[in-house]
């Protein structure tokens, strides 16, 4: 069997899903398993300067955590630095305390910053660490960075690893072979491969890298990693056991899979249609990951956004700007809470000829199909599909309101509503959440109101323990309500019960 090293990067790459938080039981089970499995290096996480975004312990890898792992781990350990956010003056704080604890430091680099990264890397190497590069965007090296490969001879004689990263997860074995030949022609430094699994080529590409004589390959338990994830540790070990006689304790391997399975069930990483498209078209998956995990965006909207980006289009559609428009004495913004259905008779009694309904979601649109007042539908993300299901197509005379052009996710409008679709010129009352359907609904309400704006169906979530998505939506709505109240110089009124303290709740029955 050829001699190559296996790096398991589960805690580092998998941290993109958990914000680098892993509970101690999972980590202990992981370390115990790695001790018994044919893995050479464990990449534990990042060493970072403080950031505004939350990152858990393996986003910072505190010395106390690393000492605990070092005490209990028999394998070599490495941590990663982000070159773009690390300077030489940071090394005394970030890296010097790790001497004697960590064996290797790998530096994530953009090829355009290679010269700068060399300076940083030599300073790290001088502290006594093995030094590795993780160089991104390998599928674009030959086309976008023609001078980069010629500089690889600068690594000769001192760097311990040059790891090629298939950032977009779309490389083919043939393309990998071509690039490996170019790399080998320009450096004597050991070479590795870190693949992503957008097109499910992680295994074949890694096996190709091994057949080409590369010095190391990266894997993660259950393929846990950013976006579509990586090659599964268990898959590579199983293959090598069957085809190259690598000794593997499958009971231990099964135990560590069991330890990480609850995380897989929670975060559901792995490839899907948007990740496949990002891989096939060489589009970074950082934003795709955010879109996929956001409940607001449908697969169609994600695919549309990727297609727009591929074609260098700001948006796939443009509509007339909303206005001039009729003004109303009463405007009601309709949310998706159950209180709308519970108090439907009272709400209908409150509506008169001087009332407009603005739906932030079309969830309850059918309930008002018999009401002849003017209706507006804020259309963001999955709302196009919901509107198509809940709004009568024939003779549609109401209005669809879109966010301002261009829209991040592109534009999808039901065919029956095309002629009555408009886009806002701007969103003025808030700077955040400009792609929220609630934001678009309240901006529309401001545009068409003469006097009174109310809301219904913003019930809030009961209970003291909320899911991550419930917490995120709650925070979003709170911010929107506060900004809107400031814009109208008074607290926004809800005519149905609500748990939001940012709303002034008044009974619909007071007014009928």
Per-residue CA distances from 2 to 128, 210, 214, 219, 245 (Å): 28, 8, 9, 17, 11
3-state SS, residue 328: strand
| Rounded-to-integer distance, Cα 375 and Cα 473, Å | 24
Tell me the three state secondary structure of residue 483.
Answer: helix
User: Residue 449 pairs with which residues in a beta bridge?
Assistant: 328
Please tell me whether the overall predicted TM-score, pTM, comes out greater than 0.75 for this model.
no
In the predicted structure, residue 15 carries a pLDDT above the cut 90: yes
129 or 311: which leads in pLDDT: 129
* pLDDT above 90 as % of the chain: 81
The H-or-E segment that residue 446 falls in is helix 437-448
DSSP 8-state symbol, 230:
B
Cα 407 to Cα 413: distance, rounded to the nearest angstrom = 13
Over pLDDT 70: what percentage of the chain? 96
**How are beta strands 130-135 and 355-359 bridged, if at all?**
unpaired
pLDDT value at residue 253: 97
Rounded CA-CA distance 199/29 in Å is 30
pLDDT in tens, 374-428: 999 999 877 888 999 999 999 999 999 999 999 877 888 999 999 999 999 999 9
Q: Can you give the pLDDT at residue 288?
A: 73
Q: What is the helix (H) or strand (E) element at residue 438, kind and residue range?
A: helix 437-448
Q: Where are the alpha helices (DSSP H) in 322-382?
A: 339-342, 344-350
CA 79 to centroid of chain Cα atoms: 22
Counting Cβ atoms within 10 Å, is residue 210 exposed (0-12), middle (13-18) or buried (19+)?
buried
pLDDT of residue 296: 64
Q: Tell me how far apart the alpha carbons of residues 73 and 31 are, in angstroms, rounded to a whole number.
A: 6
Mean of the pLDDT values across residues 26-34?
97
Does residue 227 have a pLDDT over 90?
no
Amino acid 408: pLDDT = 79
Pure H helices in 281-382: 285-292, 299-310, 339-342, 344-350
- Cβ count within 10 A of residue 501: 11
Chain segment 403-414, per-residue pLDDT in tens: 999 987 788 899
pLDDT digits over 279-310, tens only?
A: 887 777 666 766 766 656 666 777 777 777 77
Does 1 have pLDDT greater than 50? Answer: no
CA trace torsion 385, 387, 392, 397 (10° rounding): -120
Range in 256-265, 297-306, 343-352, 441-450 with the lowest mean pLDDT: 297-306
């Amino acid at each position: 069997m050829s001699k190559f090293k296996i790096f398991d990067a589960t805690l580092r790459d998998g941290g993109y899903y958990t914000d680098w938080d892993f509970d101690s039981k999972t980590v202990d089970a992981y370390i115990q398993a790695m001790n018994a499995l044919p893995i050479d290096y464990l990449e534990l996480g990042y060493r970072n300067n403080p950031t505004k975004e939350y990152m858990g312990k393996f986003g910072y890898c505190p010395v106390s955590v690393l000492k605990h792992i070092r005490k209990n781990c028999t394998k070599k350990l490495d941590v990663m630095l982000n070159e773009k956010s690390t300077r030489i003056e940071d090394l005394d704080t970030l890296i010097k305390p790790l001497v004697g604890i960590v064996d290797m430091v790998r530096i994530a680099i953009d090829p355009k910053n290679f010269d700068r990264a060399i300076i940083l890397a030599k300073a790290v190497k001088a502290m006594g660490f093995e030094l590795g590069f993780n160089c991104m965007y390998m599928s674009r090296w030959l086309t976008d960075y023609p001078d980069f490969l010629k500089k690889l001879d600068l690594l000769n004689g001192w760097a311990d690893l040059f790891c090629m990263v298939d950032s977009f997860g779309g490389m083919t074995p043939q393309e990998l072979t071509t690039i490996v030949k170019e790399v080998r022609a320009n450096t004597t430094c050991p070479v590795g491969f870190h693949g992503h699994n957008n097109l499910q080529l992680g295994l074949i590409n890694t096996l190709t890298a091994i057949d080409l004589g590369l010095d190391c390959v990266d894997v993660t338990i259950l393929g846990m990693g950013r976006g579509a994830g990586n090659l599964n540790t268990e898959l590579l070990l199983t293959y090598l056991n069957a085809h190259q006689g690598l000794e593997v304790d499958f009971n231990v391997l099964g135990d560590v899979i069991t330890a990480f399975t609850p995380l897989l069930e929670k975060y559901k990483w792995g490839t899907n249609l948007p990740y496949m498209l990002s891989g096939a078209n060489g589009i970074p998956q950082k934003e795709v990951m955010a879109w996929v995990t956001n409940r607001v965006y449908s697969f169609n909207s994600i695919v549309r956004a990727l297609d727009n980006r591929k074609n260098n289009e700001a948006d796939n559609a443009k509509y007339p700007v909303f206005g001039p428009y009729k003004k109303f004495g009463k405007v009601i913004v309709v949310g998706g809470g159950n209180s709308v259905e519970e108090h439907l008779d009272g709400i209908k009694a409150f509506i008169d000829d001087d009332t407009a309904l603005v739906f932030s979601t079309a969830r309850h649109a059918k309930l008002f199909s018999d009401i002849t007042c003017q209706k507006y539908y804020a259309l963001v993300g999955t709302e196009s599909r919901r509107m198509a299901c809940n709004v009568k197509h024939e003779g549609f005379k109401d209005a669809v309101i879109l966010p301002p052009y261009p829209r991040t996710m592109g534009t999808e409008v039901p065919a029956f509503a095309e002629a009555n679709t408009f886009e806002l010129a701007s969103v003025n009352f808030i700077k955040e959440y400009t792609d929220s359907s609630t934001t678009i609904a309240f901006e529309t309400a401001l545009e068409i109101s003469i006097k009174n704006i109310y809301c219904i169906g913003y019930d809030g979530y009961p209970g003291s323990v909320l899911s991550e998505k419930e917490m995120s939506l709650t925070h979003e709505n709170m911010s929107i309500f506060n900004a809107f109240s400031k814009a109208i110089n008074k607290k926004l009124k809800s005519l149905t019960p609500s748990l939001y303290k940012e709303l002034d709740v008044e009974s619909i029955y007071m007014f009928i």
